[in-house]
Amino acid sequence: MDFRQIVGFRQVKDEANLLYKTLEPILKLDSRYADLMTVDLAKIVQICGRSNKEISATELLAFLTIYAQIKQDADKLNAVQTWEFSAADRLKYQKVTLQTLLELNQTQPGDVLNLPTLLNKLDTETGSRYREAAVNGIYKFAQVLVKADGTITMQEMEALSQIWQLLHQFQPIESYDKKLTELMTAIAPKQPAAATAGTTSAPPNAASPAPPTTDEKPEEILEKALAELNELVGMENIKEEVKTLTNFLKVQKIRAERGLAQTPVSLHSVFGGPPGTGKTTVARLISRIFKGLGFLKKGHLIETDRSGLVAGYIGQTAKKVDDLVQTALDGVLFIDEAYALVPRDSSGSRDFGQEAVDTLLKRMEDYRDRLVVIVAGYTDEMENFVESNPGLKSRFNRYYFFNDYEPQELLQIYEKMASKSHFHLTDGARQRLLAVLNALYDERDRTFGNGRLVRNLFEKTLEKQANRLAVSPMNLTDEELTTLTEDDIPAPASASGTLHWRTQASSPGSSGSVSGDDGEKAIAQLEAALTTRLQETLNASQLQVQVRQRESTLSVLVSAPETPASDAVMAALQPYLATVLPDGMQQVVVYGRSLQDDVPTWSTDFPL
């Protein structure tokens, strides 16, 4: 064994020890997390190993180290200590660890991680912050795995990119407790015998524990929640309104303690504003503020939308609402896009959204001292929603209006994301990013993604950094792995400098173009024709097409639930566009993306 291998072994053991310290508080919440963690970490090691077509001895040691600590397996802990010094023990435990990895990966087919989704739901319901620490710790662990041999290949950088995305994908789940029990039922029976020896995990069908409690005093909870609110980027109007409400409730509490008359106040609220502006985050903080003030016993937040409230059959909607209200009692029920409960075009049709609203209003009255409801969505739609029903109007009289983030605020959000994931921007990268954000802001419409758009930009930045580093011939330092340069910042998706799409006619008099009402009509007709052609050719009924013309260049954005294949799109579009576009048009640029993304996944162009 050469010295480089010894250094690599010790490096991954140190990182595994650090990861265990990060995960240990979660294990103390519920011993069943041990099985979930080992399955997810086995998947991480498998993805890293797949990039080199084999799982190396260093990767096996890293997994053995974290596995032995999570499972508190004394035999394997001893093997970790002697790994560098006993070739016989090393060979023996390489085989044992590889077998454990294979068996664990069989319990969870496909590249899926369950821990981030579960911790995200736990944080949402209890106000805890376990997910962020766990995700960052696991990602750093993966970085050390691929770097341990001294070089990072293109395939390894792609593996890191995949791991980062898996760690930040959260599946929608109704209940933390139900999901934990469901996962344990699916995983525990398939756990390898060797892997489960010595564990103190609860039986898979054991009753789920109550959400973790805290020993914090109410005043500490209030102080921390207000501090976190003040640390949020922008939204000064929201901070001021929450501060005013907090002060009012403090006075009300003192008056109650002294037996003085209180002024009736409704805590139910309407959050209006575009997507990605922090409405859910503020709702979560408000729930903790109410707990700190003593107005709610638990102060947890339950998130839902129309799908969580409305059933498809008579009599089921009321039960669905009742069940959700029960989980939210003594906390906050947050209903996103609440206006969808009463669609404007539902007259004459059998829609059960109104039943959900009626049931919710009754439960708000029944539990007026134990339940706070916050409804959220686009401002205009939310005002129409509240005005549509006298019961809603009488109960929701507190409004918070969230605005689009300005470019400097978007930059601050981006840098916070980068810092939490152990990245930093060079001055050149910061200037380029600000220019991109300015362009996005100038081109925004009511669906502007705000914080979500920044998240997509950050993910695309990491992908570009991975591609840049993968071709580097030298060994990569930590500084290189954590630095984002100007070249890593995604360029605007068209020559006009925009990543956010909307139809826009070109300037009057430009060659090969039409303008004004005729231009908008021509663009709309072309969009309709291309949409029909691609939906039929690709057999994708939900596919959407947006077209934009700028001087002699036509840009076409193709969006679908899953990112459409570029070859299939181009085969359908190129011959058709060549025959229908005016002579003055010189170039076509086509972009493809998933409907969930603001940033295109691929682009290609062709001359006319």
Question: How many domains in the chain?
Answer: 4
- Closest of 537, 587, 598, 546 to residue 565, by C-alpha: 537
Of 351, 370, 401, the residue that ends a domain is 401
Same domain? 188 vs 231: no
Pairing of strands 483-484, 602-607: unpaired
The C-alpha atoms of residue 441 and residue 445 are separated, in whole angstroms, by 9
316/508: higher pLDDT: 316
Q: Is residue 603 assigned to a domain? A: yes
Q: Is residue 206 assigned to a domain? A: no
The C-alpha atoms of residue 170 and residue 135 are separated, in whole angstroms, by 12
Q: At 433, which CATH number?
A: 1.10.8.60
pLDDT digits (tens, 9 = 90+) for 64-73: 888 989 988 8
Same domain? 124 vs 47: yes
pLDDT of residue 405: 93
∠ Cα 172 177 179 (to 5°): 45
Residue 346 pLDDT > 60: no
The answer to whether the CB of 387 falls within 8 A of the CB of 393 is: yes
Lowest mean pLDDT among 344-358, 511-525, 547-561: 511-525
Q: Is residue 382 assigned to a domain? A: yes
Same domain? 46 vs 170: yes
Mean per-residue pLDDT over the chain, rounded: 79
Beta bridge partners of 375: 270, 335
pLDDT of residue 208: 32
Same domain? 232 vs 183: no
Q: For residue 378, give Cα distances in angstroms to 53, 302, 307, 503, 530.
A: 48, 20, 18, 21, 29
State the maximum Cα–Cα separation within the chain, in Å, rounded to a whole number.
83
Q: At 316, which CATH number?
A: 3.40.50.300
Same domain? 147 vs 231: no
502/331: higher pLDDT: 331
Residue 499 pLDDT > 50: no
3-state helix, strand, coil in the chain (%, to 5): 55, 10, 35
Instruction: Report long-range pairs for 216-219 (Cβ below 8 Å, ≥24 apart).
Output: 218/291, 218/292, 218/293, 218/294, 219/292
The C-alpha atoms of residue 406 and residue 217 are separated, in whole angstroms, by 37
364/343: higher pLDDT: 364
pLDDT digits (tens, 9 = 90+) for 484-493: 999 888 865 4
pLDDT digits (tens, 9 = 90+) for 14-39: 888 888 999 999 998 888 888 889 99
Beta bridge partners of 334: 303, 374
pLDDT digits (tens, 9 = 90+) for 531-545: 888 988 888 888 888
Same domain? 531 vs 586: yes
Altogether, the residues listed in the chain come to a count of 608
Same domain? 379 vs 395: yes
Q: Is residue 201 assigned to a domain? A: no
The answer to whether the CB of 370 falls within 8 A of the CB of 330 is: yes
Residue 332 per-residue DSSP state: E
170/343: higher pLDDT: 170
pLDDT of residue 227: 92
Mean predicted confidence (pLDDT) in 392-401: 89
Same domain? 444 vs 541: no
pLDDT band of residue 349 (cuts 50, 70, 90) is: low
Mean predicted confidence (pLDDT) in 453-482: 76
392/492: higher pLDDT: 392
The answer to whether the CB of 299 falls within 8 A of the CB of 290 is: yes
pLDDT digits (tens, 9 = 90+) for 424-460: 999 999 999 998 898 888 888 887 888 888 888 888 8
pLDDT band of residue 391 (cuts 50, 70, 90) is: confident
Residue 340 pLDDT > 70: yes
Residue 108 pLDDT > 90: no
pLDDT of residue 241: 93
pLDDT band of residue 59 (cuts 50, 70, 90) is: confident
- Closest of 167, 197, 191, 192 to residue 74, by C-alpha: 197
Q: Is residue 497 assigned to a domain? A: no
Q: At 541, which CATH number?
A: 3.30.300
Pairing of strands 301-304, 587-594: unpaired
Same domain? 343 vs 411: no
Same domain? 247 vs 307: yes
Q: Is residue 493 assigned to a domain? A: no
pTM (two decimals): 0.55
Q: Is residue 205 assigned to a domain? A: no
Q: For residue 382, give Cα distances in angstroms to 38, 269, 336, 400, 446.
A: 44, 11, 10, 11, 14
Q: In what order do the strands lie in the sheet with 301-304?
A: 301-304, 331-336, 371-377, 269-272, 398-401
Same domain? 191 vs 280: no
Task: Tell me the two tokens of residue 205.
Answer: 């069908």
- Closest of 424, 469, 430, 426 to residue 160, by C-alpha: 469
Task: Give percent of the chain above pLDDT 70.
Answer: 81
pLDDT of residue 4: 53
The 3 state secondary structure assigned to 530-557 is: HHHHHHHHHCCCCCEEEEEEECCEEEEE
Quickly list DSSP for 497-515: --SS----PPPTT-TT---
pLDDT digits (tens, 9 = 90+) for 272-316: 998 889 999 999 999 999 999 988 998 888 888 888 888 767 678
Pairing of strands 553-560, 544-550: antiparallel
Same domain? 232 vs 314: yes
Task: Give percent of the chain above pLDDT 90.
Answer: 17
The answer to whether the CB of 373 falls within 8 A of the CB of 283 is: no
Backbone angles phi, psi at 431, to 5 degrees: -65, -45
Mean predicted confidence (pLDDT) in 104-123: 83
pLDDT of residue 209: 36
Of 138, 163, 196, the residue that ends a domain is 196
The answer to whether the CB of 51 falls within 8 A of the CB of 94 is: no
Quickly list DSSP for 441-468: HHT--TT--THHHHHHHHHHHHHHHHHH
Round to the nearest angstrom and report the end-to-end CA distance of the chain.
Answer: 61
Q: Is residue 354 assigned to a domain? A: yes
Residue 475 pLDDT > 80: no
pLDDT of residue 206: 31
Q: Which domain holds residue 535?
A: 516-607
Quickly list DSSP for 346-409: -TTS---HHHHHHHHHHHHHHTTTTEEEEEEE-HHHHHHHHHT-HHHHHH--EEEE--PPPHHH
Q: What torsion, rounded to 10 degrees, do the Cα atoms 425, 429, 434, 437 define?
A: -90
pLDDT digits (tens, 9 = 90+) for 177-212: 888 888 777 765 455 544 333 333 333 333 333 344
Of 401, 423, 452, the residue that ends a domain is 401
Mean predicted confidence (pLDDT) in 114-136: 86
- Closest of 276, 40, 39, 66 to residue 166, by C-alpha: 40
